[in-house]
Amino acid sequence: MTKKLLEMRSITKEFPGVKALDNVNITVNEGEIHAVVGENGAGKSTLMNVLSGVYPYGSYSGDVFFDGQLCRHQGIKDSERLGIVIIHQELALVPYLSIGENMFLGNEQQRRGRIDWHKTHQKAEEYMRIVGLQENPHTLVKDISVGKQQLIEIAKALAKNVRLLILDEPTSSLNESDSKNVLDLLLRLQEQGVTSIIISHKLNEISYCADRITILRDGSTVETLDNQSAEIPEERIVKGMVGREMTERYPTRSRKVQDEIALEVKDFTVYHELFPDRKVVDNVSLKLHKGEVVGIYGLIGAGRSELALSIFGQAYGTKASGKIYKDGVLLELNSVPDAIRANIAYVTEDRKGSGLILSNSIVHNITLPRMDFVSQGMRIDKDLERKTADHYRESLDIKTPSVGQLVENLSGGNQQKVLLGKWIFSQPDVLLLDEPTRGVDVGAKYEIYQIINELVEEGKSALFISSELTEILGMCDRIYVMNQGRIIGEFLAEEATQEIIMNRIMQDSKGEIGA
Amino acid sequence: MNSMRTTFRNNLKQYMMLVALVALVIAFQVLTKGVLLKPMNVSNLIFQNAYVVILAVGMLLCILTGGNIDLSVGSVVALVGACAGTFIITWGWNPHLSILLCLGIGILIGMWQGFWIAYMRIPAFIVTLSGMLVFRGLTLIVLNGLTLAPFPPAYLGYSTGYVLDLFPSLELFGVRNTTSLLVGILIAIIYCVTQVVGYLGRKNKGYVVEGVWALIVKMAVISPAVIWLFYILASYRGIPMVLIIVGIVLLAYSYFTSHTVMGRHLYALGGNEKAARLSGVKTKRLLFLAYVNMAFLAAVAGIVFAARLNSASPQAGQSFELDAIGSCFLGGASAYGGVGTVGGTLIGALFMGVLNNGMSIMGISSNVQQVVKGLVLLVAVAADAISKNKLPFNIPRFGKRGVESQASVES
């Protein structure tokens, strides 16, 4: 009974010098959830751009059949007319327009050129009900959470009479409960006959919701796996993606946690930048030993990044109080340069937004935090600088023809390595790593874990913030759990499980445990 | 080899502008039947564009901080000229001290604007729009609406004079001013020596060096060009004093932007303010200093321009800010900040200058000239934007992906 909704036959797309897609075949049946996985640069986005008409008919070779018809899209409008709607990783909502306005943006409910606001809001409410959202359609999009914004994107797609919904990394900026919410919605929509393609790096999510999984590697289809009859183990998917058996998702390190304390934070309290009476970090105390990786887990909004940023020379918040000791010495960190000079590094969760200078070269990015290491007085020693950058290119295996390359031309994984290299260059003793593997593919993730291991084996210590519990459990020696700005639990890696940690958060949110 | 290709691609726009500039010069040389490059006209070109170059360099630093521009520079030029006129002509003060005082006034103006922009976070556009009105008004108040003239020779000497010919009796290669020619040859030699010494030094230390041929080509192009320029100047009245001022400004700021820590921080600030702040860059202070520097250079330009007019006029410097901004963008600066070089800005300013001068020689009316200049600016920047989208390996910026894909659909 399965009817093919979409069939892409031997798609090949070349850019000058690179073959982004090489003879890719994929079929999507009506009513299924089809996952497309692959490492960064495997060609997932290019394939979706061919499908949605961003690359017009004729600029690629091969055929796309939708509902049995050969597609000759000249642009997104053509594919949308057929009911193919793509939701990009970066949400495309306008923050200062209302939910209703956003939902019908480009698809306005109009009569003779005039917008029918009554109908707009009525229909907006209708679609919000389908995606399980209770909000006033007049609310501005900037005032609602990212999780809800993702739901609005889906509602917006539904409003276009979608037949094939394509989601590119729909949960990359969501926490676990919001992510599950989105995935459950996809499953509900599936029952109502919506077919979807989901692209994701999070393999647990894919095994959770996908019926079939197509794996791309280096621009070619490797295989399509059936996830419906029997659940496919994640290791099996990873093997297809990287082309080899990955027995260890997390590299082991020779345990060398020392007794000496590298960093100690005592009674740390920080208030919100804009609302100075709201506590964001609430009386936090924590310790990092030398050679230790300490995880901080918490839901989004628990105050993890804010904690790390305020330790890093009060880069966030106001009215910070509390004490920071490093190697037993009380520190006065009033600015970012203070923190850098105290050999603390903060690796941001948002490499494009606040980590790298995209328009600058790799060299200029790496040396930026400690220009004094490569200069005499105010004069930069450009040769020394270049040599230094070359050293990090080799030791971190940053794939680029030259360190003079602009960072904006690198892939996500390589950008992340530049970001890490930049802070390793600053010679830190303590690294505050905020989501160090966000948006990075499996292979690069493994490399980044290895880099972290090498650093702590040298006696440095790392505070590891992540939204992925498996990663925290796999990498950390000790784990702090945060909720609403407070530390609500501390576990050794051996005793911690996903259930224990999630239960602790749930209990705390219900208020069953006091502070 | 790879690294050279990368550098080349990163600076592609500048090379394209340089080629365009050479083409423009050749075209006008033909159209004006050889008048453009006559020694007297080259000298004129320098006088006409000196203050634009000085302003454009200051403007570049502001633009680098994040696409911020300074609309007040024309008014600051006028106000500084008015102060100089009042001090020297009306009150009879010592010209040299008066010039120092005027530069001080420029710095104060910069601190005023920089304070609002950097520390109070008022958009630069608004602060300097206010400055444009305030300082123009102050000029009118200081001058009482009148023009002061003339300046004493001691004041004019700094920028309108020529470097003294040390060997008036000597006539090498049939030029009138041998000193100029010798200076030109000397500069060319110094340039070659520093290049070779630097090259060998780096090679000995085991650093990556460019190919020998690249070095030779560079020297073979630049040295004759320098000597040729000074030969032309020598055939007229020698080296204009103002060329020395411009030369110092260009060298100093070129070194500052490319070889100093603070210069590097400037690019970081414009490229990504948040990332720069989290890397320990003192972003507010840097923004403040960029505007202090802009007003300082505007004061330098004001002194130069008043000397050229030989008067302090309330109407001086009108629309100078636009020439300066245009030069930066023509020279490859990014309107979003973080991208642009002093060399590029010089090319941009020269392009504008040659365009002005060439069209004037051809007798094209100034109304038409404005139209042409405006269109050239648009075409140059648009050509860059379009060619960028067609370059191989050009991965669209992710932050703007939605917008870009939308745009490519519409087109």
Q: Which residues lie across from A490 on neighbouring strands? A: A480
Q: Look at residue A515 and tell me whether its pLDDT is greater than 90.
A: no
**Mean pLDDT computed over every residue of chain A:** 86
Contact B267 A357 (CB under 8 A): yes
Contact list in B for residue A383 (CB cut-off 8 A) is 202, 205, 207-208
Contact A17 B267 (CB under 8 A): no
| Residue-range domain boundaries for chain B | 12-161+242-388, 163-239
CB-based contacts of A155: which residues, under 8 Å, 6+ apart? Answer: A103, A124, A127, A128, A130, A131, A133
Q: Which residues lie across from A216 on neighbouring strands? A: A221
The predicted-structure confidence for A268-280, as pLDDT tens digits, reads as follows 999 988 888 888 8
Q: Look at residue B43 and tell me whether its pLDDT is greater than 50.
A: yes
The predicted-structure confidence for A162-212, as pLDDT tens digits, reads as follows 889 999 888 877 777 888 888 898 898 888 888 999 988 778 888 888 899
Q: Whose CA is closest to B79, among B37, B126, B28, B137? A: B137
CA distance A513 to B184: 82
Contact A368 B268 (CB under 8 A): yes
pLDDT band at B310 (very low <50, low <70, confident <90, very high): very high
Q: Is the Cβ of A336 closer than 8 Å to some Cβ of chain B? A: yes
Q: Is the Cβ of A273 closer than 8 Å to some Cβ of chain B? A: no
CB-based contacts of A66: which residues, under 8 Å, 6+ apart? Answer: A5, A6, A82, A84, A164
pLDDT band at B409 (very low <50, low <70, confident <90, very high): very low
The SS3 assignment for B405 reads helix
High-pLDDT (> 70) share of chain A, %: 96
Nearest CA in chain B to A314: B278
> What's the rounded mean pLDDT across residues B179-187?
89
Contact B6 A402 (CB under 8 A): yes
Q: Helices B153-160 & B241-259, crossing angle to 10 degrees? A: 50
Q: Look at residue A337 and tell me whether its pLDDT is greater than 70.
A: yes
The predicted-structure confidence for B241-299, as pLDDT tens digits, reads as follows 999 999 999 999 999 999 999 999 999 999 999 999 999 999 999 999 999 999 999 99
- The pLDDT, as a whole number, for residue A374 is 92
> What's the rounded mean pLDDT across residues B179-196?
90
- The pLDDT, as a whole number, for residue B391 is 45
CA distance A441 to A443: 6
Indicate the fold that domain B12-161+242-388 takes in CATH.
ABC transporter involved in vitamin B12 uptake, BtuC (1.10.3470)
Q: Are A333 and A324 in contact (CB under 8 A)?
A: yes
Residue with tokens 């679609």: A127
CA distance B68 to B64: 8
> How many Cβ atoms are within 10 Å of A496's Cβ, its own excluded?
22
Q: Is the Cβ of A68 closer than 8 Å to some Cβ of chain B? A: no
pLDDT band at A512 (very low <50, low <70, confident <90, very high): very low
- The pLDDT, as a whole number, for residue B208 is 66
Q: Look at residue B82 and tell me whether its pLDDT is greater than 80.
A: yes
Contact B338 A360 (CB under 8 A): yes
**Mean pLDDT computed over every residue of chain B:** 87
C-alpha distance from A62 to closest chain B C-alpha (Å): 21
CB-based contacts of A450: which residues, under 8 Å, 6+ apart? Answer: A251
Q: Look at residue A426 and tell me whether its pLDDT is greater than 60.
A: yes
CA distances (Å), B409 to each of A55, A79, B401, in order? 9, 12, 12
The predicted-structure confidence for B332-391, as pLDDT tens digits, reads as follows 888 888 989 999 999 999 999 999 999 999 999 989 998 998 998 888 878 777 766 654
> What's the rounded mean pLDDT across residues B4-10?
63
- The pLDDT, as a whole number, for residue B401 is 34
pLDDT band at A217 (very low <50, low <70, confident <90, very high): confident
Q: Is the Cβ of A484 closer than 8 Å to some Cβ of chain B? A: no
- The pLDDT, as a whole number, for residue B2 is 53
Domains within chain A, CATH numbers bracketed:
4-242 (3.40.50.300), 258-343+429-515 (3.40.50.300), 352-427 (no CATH)
Q: How big is the A-B interface in CB pairs under 8 Å?
A: 132
Interface confidence, given as ipTM, is 0.83
